[in-house]
Amino acid sequence: MKKILISALAYDQGKSGIANYIENVVKALGKTMNIELIVNEDEVDFFKGISDNITFRVVPRYLKKPLFNMLWHLLILPFTINKNAYEWMLLPAGNRRLMAFYPVKTLVTMHDLSQFNVTKKYDMFRMFYIKHVIPFFLKRADRIFTVSENTANDMVLHYGMNKNELVVNYNGVNTENFSPDLKRDETVLRLKKPYMLYVARIEHPGKNHLNLIKAYEKLPERYKEEYDLCLIGSDWNGAEIVHAYAENSPDRDRIKFLGYVPNDELPMYYSQASLFVFPSFYEGFGIPVVEAMASGTPVAASFTSSLPEVGGEAAAYFDPNSPESIAQVLQTVLKSTALRNRMRELGFEQVKKFNWDEHARIIQKSADSAN
């Protein structure tokens, strides 16, 4: 029986939004299809047990380096694919990992074009690759998915693509893991006080931690006495700037950096948070927003990019460029129990729109209809 081929070389030990996407898509597709998964040698264990329908093509760990990873997909991978062995292939991180030619029917997921919207995110070499190389090879794929209307619109704007050729396929949320019914577990939770939560890698300026910290500093003292600010995520580009600012903040003892939290512990932090804050300057989707809503936690988010599309009427919104705007919205939500309860109920309704099995069904349907 033929199988499908998926590259998981963007998994990065499960520490990013794309990793979240890869894991859930593989799990959903694996319910009905046989999958050959291209995986780094030190990441095989992450995928064991997800599905009985997975076999592994293991590659050396040095391919985790961004440049090697990019060149291997572009120049080596196409020559290793036996077109008679696979029904189709999925490249789940098309923002960087594409092939020079496609020997088998190929589907690509594009998450965002944040590089065009967040200044100084990448160096000149990578921006050249993003602006000129990616669109050239991307347009040769048989199907292109975007995870939001916002990303589809960016593809039209920056890559000159025909929107009718793009398939908007929303991400899902795993409601089995993210639930309001989790009981507090002190062996997992490392926080004693009530807290506001932000889950994102510590990346400056894109994830906008500085303005969130500045907004927290502007809150009236009674709110800071009651609520800590909890930041979950691995250090990334520019993290030292965020840490340096926090260390010199008058509220440094109330700002908690927890670093990377394993996926099996993360739902506890969502469900026990008093408020989830998402101040990112730009998101192609924003999976943490729907994870927080599924956990019964009210959400305050940036009124930018895809976030109003994903959060709908369930979230409260602010201007991410303004610490004053962020602080005002945080204060408005925190002071009203009735508002938070209303946001929780709206959140439960909103997350019904996002389902991984439906996401997988659209991928399969699109693959079947591709020429």
Is it the case that residue 62 has pLDDT exceeding 60? Answer: yes
- Mean predicted confidence (pLDDT) in 31-53: 94
Tell me the pLDDT tens digit for each residue of 111-134: 999 888 877 777 788 888 888 889
Tell me the pLDDT tens digit for each residue of 66-115: 889 999 999 999 999 998 999 999 999 998 899 999 999 999 999 999 88
Looking at 72-76, 128-132, 205-209, 211-215, which range is the least confident one?
Answer: 128-132
Query: Does the fold of domain 195-353 match that of domain 3-172+355-369?
Result: yes
What gap in Å lies between CA 300 and CA 297, rounded to an integer?
A: 10
Q: Quick one: CA dihedral 182, 186, 188, 193, positive or negative?
A: positive
The larger pLDDT score, comparing residue 251 to residue 237, is at 251
Residue spans per domain, the chain: 3-172+355-369, 195-353
What gap in Å lies between CA 269 and CA 352, rounded to an integer?
A: 21
Is it the case that residue 177 has pLDDT exceeding 60? Answer: yes
3-state secondary structure of 318: strand
Q: What is the pLDDT of residue 190?
A: 86
- Mean predicted confidence (pLDDT) in 291-301: 99
- Mean predicted confidence (pLDDT) in 232-239: 95
Q: CA-based diameter of the chain, in Å?
A: 66
* Angle subtended at Cα 286 by Cα 238 and Cα 321, rounded to the nearest 5 degrees: 55
pLDDT band at 179 (very low <50, low <70, confident <90, very high): very high
Whether the CB-CB separation of 107 and 89 falls below 8 Å is answered with: yes
What gap in Å lies between CA 191 and CA 345, rounded to an integer?
A: 26
3-state secondary structure of 5: strand
Enter the pTM of the model: 0.94
Relative orientation angle of helices 323-334 and 209-218, to the nearest 10 degrees: 60
Tell me the pLDDT tens digit for each residue of 133-175: 899 999 999 999 999 999 999 999 999 999 999 999 999 999 9
Is it the case that residue 210 has pLDDT exceeding 90? Answer: yes
Helix (H) or strand (E) holding 19: helix 17-29
- Mean predicted confidence (pLDDT) in 350-356: 98
Is it the case that residue 276 has pLDDT exceeding 70? Answer: yes
Topology of domain 195-353, CATH? Rossmann fold (3.40.50)
The CATH number given to 3-172+355-369 is: 3.40.50.2000
Q: What is the pLDDT of residue 184?
A: 84
* Torsions phi, psi for 91 (to 5 deg): -105, 100
Q: What is the pLDDT of residue 251?
A: 98
The larger pLDDT score, comparing residue 46 to residue 14, is at 46
Is it the case that residue 23 has pLDDT exceeding 60? Answer: yes
Select from 56, 60, 20, 55 the least CA-distant residue to 40.
Answer: 60
For the chain, give the mean pLDDT.
94
Q: What is the pLDDT of residue 1?
A: 57
pLDDT band at 36 (very low <50, low <70, confident <90, very high): very high
pLDDT band at 183 (very low <50, low <70, confident <90, very high): confident
Percentage of the chain beyond pLDDT 70 is 99
Q: What is the pLDDT of residue 16?
A: 85
What gap in Å lies between CA 117 and CA 366, rounded to an integer?
A: 29
Find all residues with CB under 8 Å of 317, minimum gap 6, and list them.
Answer: 300, 301, 302, 303, 307, 308, 311, 329
